[in-house]
């Protein structure tokens, strides 16, 4: 019996090894028991899935278990973007949701994510409770799909119309349609395919989409994660077509990326700062900003300039979502390219985020490269970021953590360390406002070393010193 653990964002595993139909059913039973324990018995529940291998069948297996436990399931009629599933939970008045997706993981993986009644990631204490309630297979209750449909326990429906109506209230797409832009969209073979051609049809703006078919092997990329080298084909295509911008969506469309008009990747920290600048400066809105500790200190600078508070959390939307609800935040986000927005659900939305970025371009009349230059002028400094991911066996983590606990660097790459934060990993705050973070992934056997600094020459030395602290160089 697999020892199922929920990491940064749900449970993920290798298909046919630990990610099996039996284990999906066990997870669903644990979630059912959790909801029942919290007085949600008999409630509505939304279940959706991505384009990975057999995802629709895993979703049906989960739906059978929830129906067998007395819930009414709204099962999506096709592979559906994660933000659409999250919004549907609120729109349906559901008690929560299950999403069968491994997001940006390699092709061999699939995942099981749970959402609360707000469409947000379940908080860490809730995830621990669900884990504890996952039973042996012989304790799983299920109702066959055909029987559940006949009895009205499972309804298959299309969630797109309600979501499209929702985002049309947040972004006026007509000026974008008439702007005459040429937009390249890279959905990474995933759930985001077809959405921008549908949203922006009928005007002067032209949308070209690549990698839009279903292909669970994700060719021409290592994985459907919206960062280089996975986006390199799309960036080259942007230049080849003379497109004004490249909009990137990850495999389940809850995360986003941007390529500029020159085929240069606009990294996730730059995109977050530009989106915050868009709301604060261009739209003139005010409200708190929520960020994970692994993302940009440009947000603190923007907070100072516009008089809004900035809250820092651990990594993952299981921390960001609850903080957004608590503070009625204007925007929340993380280093991986996931951003959420006030007025929608407190969950990452790559479709809405990319629409907001297009609106920023149209309202200012500036290209992505010009916008970044304008942002740095406003901040009074240029910021540089990079990240190194290294395979790291879980059994070696205790020894590496002991090394980090014992290390007390007073300077890194010639910059004085002003603070050390251990909320989630080991973050060394630097005198120039930058930082170095060492963190073990919650979903994969990987250690990540990240840094941000205002001196480009210090990026590689900082990353090298981070790897040395773990004992990898």
| List of domains in the chain | 11-161 (3.40.120.10), 173-266+350-362 (3.40.120.10), 267-348 (3.40.120.10), 384-470 (3.30.310.50)
**What is the per-residue pLDDT for 473?**
76
CA distances from 202 to 149, 172, 450 (A): 38, 14, 42
**Average pLDDT in the 138-147 region?**
98
**What is the per-residue pLDDT for 242?**
98
pLDDT tens for residues 124-141? 899 999 999 999 999 999
**Average pLDDT in the 292-313 region?**
96
Q: Per-residue pLDDT for 76 more than 60?
A: yes
**Average pLDDT in the 347-358 region?**
97
**What is the per-residue pLDDT for 7?**
77
**What is the per-residue pLDDT for 463?**
97
Q: Which residue has the higher pLDDT, 183 or 445?
A: 183
Instruction: Note whether 242 and 182 are within 8 A (CB).
Output: yes
**What is the per-residue pLDDT for 9?**
74
Instruction: Note whether 275 and 363 are within 8 A (CB).
Output: no
**Average pLDDT in the 254-265 region?**
98
Burial class for 70, CB neighbours closer than 10 Å (0-12, 13-18, 19+):
middle
**What is the per-residue pLDDT for 217?**
97
Residues of the chain with pLDDT > 70, as a percent, come to 99
Rounded (10°) angle between helices 82-91 and 350-364: 100
Instruction: Note whether 67 and 61 are within 8 A (CB).
Output: no
User: Phi then psi for 421, rounded to 5 degrees?
Assistant: -115, 130
The Cα–Cα gap between 81 and 93 comes to: 19
Going by pLDDT thresholds of 50, 70 and 90, the confidence category of residue 444 is: confident
Q: What is the pTM of this model?
A: 0.94
Residues of the chain with pLDDT > 90, as a percent, come to 92
Instruction: Note whether 308 and 315 are within 8 A (CB).
Output: no
**What is the per-residue pLDDT for 327?**
97
**What is the per-residue pLDDT for 241?**
98
Mean pLDDT over each residue of the chain, to the nearest integer? 95
End-to-end CA distance of the chain: 38
Going by pLDDT thresholds of 50, 70 and 90, the confidence category of residue 234 is: very high
Highest mean pLDDT among 124-138, 204-218, 459-473: 204-218
Length of the chain: 473
CA distances from 466 to 170, 389, 413 (A): 41, 12, 10
CA atoms within 13 A on the CB side of 407: 24
User: Phi then psi for 146, rounded to 5 degrees?
Assistant: -60, -40
**What is the per-residue pLDDT for 2?**
56
The Cα–Cα gap between 2 and 327 comes to: 38
Q: Per-residue pLDDT for 390 more than 80?
A: yes
């Amino acid at each position: 019996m697999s020892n199922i653990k929920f990491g940064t964002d749900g449970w993920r595993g290798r298909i046919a090894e630990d990610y099996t139909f039996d284990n999906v059913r066990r997870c669903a039973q644990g979630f059912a028991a959790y909801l029942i324990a919290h007085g949600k018995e008999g409630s509505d529940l939304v279940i959706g899935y991505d384009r990975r291998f057999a995802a629709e069948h895993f979703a049906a297996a989960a739906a059978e278990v929830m129906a067998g436990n007395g819930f009414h399931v709204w099962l999506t009629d096709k592979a559906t973007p994660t933000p659409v599933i999250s919004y549907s939970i609120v729109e349906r008045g559901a008690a929560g949701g299950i999403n069968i997706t491994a997001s940006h993981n390699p092709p061999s993986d699939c995942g099981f994510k749970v959402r609360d009644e707000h469409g947000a990631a379940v908080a860490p204490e809730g995830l621990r409770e669900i884990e504890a309630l996952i039973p042996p297979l012989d304790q799983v209750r299920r109702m066959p799909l055909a029987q559940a449909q006949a009895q009205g326990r499972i309804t298959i429906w299309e969630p797109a119309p309600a979501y499209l109506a929702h985002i049309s209230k947040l972004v006026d797409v007509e000026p974008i349609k008439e702007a005459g832009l040429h937009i390249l969209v890279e959905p990474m073979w995933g759930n985001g395919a077809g959405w921008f051609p549908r949203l922006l049809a009928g005007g002067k703006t032209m949308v070209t989409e690549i990698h839009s078919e279903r292909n669970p092997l994700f060719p021409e990329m290592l994985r459907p994660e919206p960062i280089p080298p996975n986006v390199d084909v799309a960036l080259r295509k942007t230049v080849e077509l003379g497109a004004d911008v490249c909009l990137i969506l990850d495999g389940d469309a809850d995360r986003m990326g941007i390529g500029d008009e020159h085929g240069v990747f606009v990294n996730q920290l730059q995109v977050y700062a530009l989106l915050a600048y868009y709301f604060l400066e261009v739209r003139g809105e005010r409200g708190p900003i929520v960020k994970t500790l692994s993302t940009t200190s440009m947000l603190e600078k923007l907070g100072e300039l516009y008089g809004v508070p900035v809250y820092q959390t651990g990594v993952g939307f299981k921390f960001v979502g609850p903080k957004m609800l608590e503070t009625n935040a204007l925007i929340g986000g993380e280093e991986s390219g996931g951003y959420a927005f006030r007025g929608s659900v407190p969950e990452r939305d790559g479709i809405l985020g990319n629409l907001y970025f297009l609106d920023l371009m149209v309202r200012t009349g500036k290209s992505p490269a010009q916008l970044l230059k304008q942002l740095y002028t406003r901040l009074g400094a240029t910021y540089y970021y990079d990240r190194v991911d290294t395979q790291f066996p879980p059994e070696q983590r205790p020894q590496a953590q002991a090394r980090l606990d014992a290390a007390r660097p007073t300077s890194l790459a010639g910059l004085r360390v002003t603070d050390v934060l251990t909320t989630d990993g080991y973050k060394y705050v630097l005198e120039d406002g930058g930082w170095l973070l060492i963190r073990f992934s919650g979903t994969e056997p990987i250690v990540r070393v990240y840094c941000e600094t205002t001196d480009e020459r210090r990026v590689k030395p900082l990353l090298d010193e981070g790897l040395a602290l773990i004992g990898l160089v």
